[in-house]
Amino acid sequence: MSDSQKDRAQWFVVQTMSGQENRVKQSIERRREVEGVADLVFDVIIPTEKVSERRQGRRVTSERKLYPGYILMKACLFEDDGQANHKAWYFIRETQGIIGFVGGERPVPLSPHEVDEMLVQCKASEEGTKPKVQFQIGESVTIRDGAFENFEGVIENVDADRGKLRVSVTIFGRSTPVEVEYWQVERT
Protein backbone atom coordinates (compact mmCIF):
# COMPACT_ATOMS: atom_id res chain seq x y z
CA MET A 1 0.00 0.00 0.00
CA SER A 2 1.55 3.25 -1.04
CA ASP A 3 1.23 6.42 0.99
CA SER A 4 0.08 8.36 -2.07
CA GLN A 5 -2.91 6.05 -2.50
CA LYS A 6 -3.85 6.33 1.15
CA ASP A 7 -3.57 10.12 0.86
CA ARG A 8 -5.88 10.06 -2.19
CA ALA A 9 -8.44 7.87 -0.43
CA GLN A 10 -11.70 9.55 0.51
CA TRP A 11 -14.48 8.76 2.96
CA PHE A 12 -17.80 7.53 1.59
CA VAL A 13 -21.09 6.54 3.19
CA VAL A 14 -22.26 3.06 2.25
CA GLN A 15 -25.82 1.87 2.83
CA THR A 16 -26.14 -1.66 4.20
CA MET A 17 -29.04 -3.91 4.98
CA SER A 18 -30.39 -3.03 8.40
CA GLY A 19 -28.63 -4.98 11.14
CA GLN A 20 -25.87 -6.17 8.78
CA GLU A 21 -23.33 -3.43 9.49
CA ASN A 22 -20.96 -5.60 11.56
CA ARG A 23 -21.17 -8.50 9.13
CA VAL A 24 -20.39 -6.21 6.18
CA LYS A 25 -17.41 -4.69 8.02
CA GLN A 26 -16.00 -8.13 8.87
CA SER A 27 -16.51 -9.35 5.31
CA ILE A 28 -14.70 -6.37 3.81
CA GLU A 29 -11.79 -6.66 6.24
CA ARG A 30 -11.42 -10.41 5.54
CA ARG A 31 -11.76 -10.21 1.76
CA ARG A 32 -9.66 -7.13 0.96
CA GLU A 33 -6.33 -8.96 1.48
CA VAL A 34 -7.46 -12.08 -0.37
CA GLU A 35 -8.88 -10.20 -3.36
CA GLY A 36 -5.96 -7.79 -3.65
CA VAL A 37 -7.69 -4.50 -2.83
CA ALA A 38 -5.91 -3.73 0.45
CA ASP A 39 -4.25 -0.78 -1.32
CA LEU A 40 -7.65 0.57 -2.44
CA VAL A 41 -9.99 -0.04 0.54
CA PHE A 42 -8.55 1.11 3.87
CA ASP A 43 -10.87 1.74 6.79
CA VAL A 44 -14.43 0.71 7.64
CA ILE A 45 -16.12 2.40 10.59
CA ILE A 46 -19.53 1.83 12.15
CA PRO A 47 -20.30 5.00 14.14
CA THR A 48 -21.64 3.94 17.56
CA GLU A 49 -22.26 5.41 20.99
CA LYS A 50 -22.51 3.85 24.44
CA VAL A 51 -25.88 4.22 26.13
CA SER A 52 -27.10 3.15 29.54
CA GLU A 53 -30.58 2.11 30.50
CA ARG A 54 -32.38 0.22 33.23
CA ARG A 55 -33.44 -3.37 32.55
CA GLN A 56 -34.97 -5.62 35.18
CA GLY A 57 -33.83 -3.28 37.95
CA ARG A 58 -30.18 -3.19 36.85
CA ARG A 59 -28.16 -0.59 34.99
CA VAL A 60 -27.10 -1.96 31.59
CA THR A 61 -24.63 -0.34 29.19
CA SER A 62 -24.91 -1.18 25.49
CA GLU A 63 -23.77 0.17 22.13
CA ARG A 64 -26.19 1.90 19.79
CA LYS A 65 -25.46 2.68 16.15
CA LEU A 66 -25.54 6.39 15.40
CA TYR A 67 -26.59 5.76 11.78
CA PRO A 68 -28.36 2.37 11.56
CA GLY A 69 -28.02 0.88 8.09
CA TYR A 70 -24.92 2.91 7.17
CA ILE A 71 -21.15 2.53 7.49
CA LEU A 72 -18.26 4.87 6.70
CA MET A 73 -15.56 3.62 4.36
CA LYS A 74 -12.22 5.13 3.35
CA ALA A 75 -11.35 4.00 -0.16
CA CYS A 76 -9.83 5.02 -3.51
CA LEU A 77 -13.00 4.83 -5.61
CA PHE A 78 -11.75 7.20 -8.28
CA GLU A 79 -8.52 7.45 -10.29
CA ASP A 80 -6.54 10.69 -10.63
CA ASP A 81 -8.41 11.48 -13.87
CA GLY A 82 -11.80 11.21 -12.11
CA GLN A 83 -12.75 7.85 -13.64
CA ALA A 84 -14.08 5.12 -11.38
CA ASN A 85 -11.60 2.56 -10.09
CA HIS A 86 -13.51 -0.54 -11.19
CA LYS A 87 -11.58 -2.94 -8.98
CA ALA A 88 -12.46 -1.06 -5.75
CA TRP A 89 -15.94 -0.17 -6.97
CA TYR A 90 -16.98 -3.76 -7.72
CA PHE A 91 -15.27 -5.14 -4.62
CA ILE A 92 -17.46 -2.91 -2.46
CA ARG A 93 -20.64 -3.27 -4.52
CA GLU A 94 -20.37 -7.07 -4.59
CA THR A 95 -20.01 -7.40 -0.83
CA GLN A 96 -22.99 -9.24 0.59
CA GLY A 97 -25.22 -6.96 2.65
CA ILE A 98 -24.32 -3.73 0.83
CA ILE A 99 -27.17 -1.91 -0.90
CA GLY A 100 -25.06 0.83 -2.45
CA PHE A 101 -23.28 4.12 -1.97
CA VAL A 102 -25.09 7.17 -0.71
CA GLY A 103 -25.10 9.33 -3.82
CA GLY A 104 -25.86 6.56 -6.30
CA GLU A 105 -23.66 5.74 -9.28
CA ARG A 106 -21.40 8.75 -8.71
CA PRO A 107 -21.07 8.97 -4.90
CA VAL A 108 -19.83 12.22 -3.44
CA PRO A 109 -17.13 11.79 -0.78
CA LEU A 110 -17.64 13.27 2.66
CA SER A 111 -15.80 16.50 3.37
CA PRO A 112 -12.97 16.32 5.94
CA HIS A 113 -15.11 18.47 8.25
CA GLU A 114 -18.01 15.98 8.11
CA VAL A 115 -15.69 13.04 8.80
CA ASP A 116 -14.03 14.85 11.71
CA GLU A 117 -17.43 15.61 13.26
CA MET A 118 -18.50 11.96 13.04
CA LEU A 119 -15.22 10.66 14.45
CA VAL A 120 -15.32 13.19 17.32
CA GLN A 121 -18.87 12.08 18.09
CA CYS A 122 -17.69 8.44 18.27
CA LYS A 123 -14.66 9.34 20.45
CA ALA A 124 -16.85 11.31 22.87
CA SER A 125 -19.09 8.29 23.21
CA GLU A 126 -16.14 6.04 24.07
CA GLU A 127 -15.16 8.35 26.93
CA GLY A 128 -18.56 8.49 28.59
CA THR A 129 -21.82 6.63 28.59
CA LYS A 130 -24.83 8.55 27.40
CA PRO A 131 -28.28 7.82 28.81
CA LYS A 132 -30.61 6.10 26.39
CA VAL A 133 -33.48 8.38 27.45
CA GLN A 134 -33.21 12.18 27.63
CA PHE A 135 -35.11 14.05 30.33
CA GLN A 136 -36.47 17.60 30.51
CA ILE A 137 -37.21 19.98 33.38
CA GLY A 138 -40.84 19.74 34.52
CA GLU A 139 -41.24 16.08 33.49
CA SER A 140 -42.89 13.66 35.94
CA VAL A 141 -40.84 10.59 36.86
CA THR A 142 -40.95 7.64 39.24
CA ILE A 143 -37.79 6.67 41.10
CA ARG A 144 -37.21 2.94 40.51
CA ASP A 145 -34.02 2.38 42.49
CA GLY A 146 -32.39 3.62 45.68
CA ALA A 147 -33.63 4.99 49.00
CA PHE A 148 -36.58 6.78 47.39
CA GLU A 149 -37.81 3.82 45.34
CA ASN A 150 -41.44 4.17 44.11
CA PHE A 151 -41.59 7.91 44.93
CA GLU A 152 -43.00 10.10 42.20
CA GLY A 153 -41.63 13.55 41.52
CA VAL A 154 -40.98 16.35 39.06
CA ILE A 155 -37.58 17.05 37.50
CA GLU A 156 -36.14 20.38 38.68
CA ASN A 157 -32.67 20.16 37.14
CA VAL A 158 -30.90 18.03 34.51
CA ASP A 159 -27.12 17.53 34.62
CA ALA A 160 -26.49 15.69 31.35
CA ASP A 161 -22.69 15.70 31.76
CA ARG A 162 -22.88 13.75 35.03
CA GLY A 163 -26.04 11.82 34.10
CA LYS A 164 -27.90 13.10 37.17
CA LEU A 165 -31.30 14.63 37.85
CA ARG A 166 -32.62 16.69 40.75
CA VAL A 167 -36.15 15.48 41.37
CA SER A 168 -38.60 17.14 43.73
CA VAL A 169 -40.47 14.47 45.73
CA THR A 170 -43.02 14.90 48.52
CA ILE A 171 -41.88 13.43 51.85
CA PHE A 172 -44.07 13.89 54.94
CA GLY A 173 -46.08 16.56 53.12
CA ARG A 174 -43.03 18.62 52.14
CA SER A 175 -41.35 19.00 48.78
CA THR A 176 -37.77 17.71 49.00
CA PRO A 177 -35.13 17.76 46.25
CA VAL A 178 -33.42 14.39 45.66
CA GLU A 179 -30.45 13.77 43.37
CA VAL A 180 -30.66 10.55 41.33
CA GLU A 181 -28.96 9.12 38.27
CA TYR A 182 -30.76 8.83 34.93
CA TRP A 183 -30.98 5.07 35.11
CA GLN A 184 -32.70 5.19 38.52
CA VAL A 185 -35.87 6.81 37.17
CA GLU A 186 -38.49 6.23 34.52
CA ARG A 187 -41.16 8.44 33.05
CA THR A 188 -44.66 8.24 34.49
Q: Where in the chain is the domain with CATH 3.30.70.940?
A: 3-127
1 has a pLDDT exceeding 50: no
5-55 pLDDT, tens per residue?
667 789 999 999 988 999 999 999 999 888 888 888 888 999 888 877 767
Question: At 25, which amino acid appears?
Answer: K
CATH number listed for the domain at residues 3-127: 3.30.70.940
27-41 pLDDT, tens per residue?
999 998 888 888 888
State phi, psi for 171 to the nearest 5 degrees. Answer: -125, 125
CATH number listed for the domain at residues 140-187: 2.30.30.30
Q: Where in the chain is the domain with CATH 2.30.30.30?
A: 140-187
107-151 pLDDT, tens per residue?
888 898 988 888 887 777 666 666 667 788 999 999 888 888 899
Give the model's pLDDT for residue 11: 92
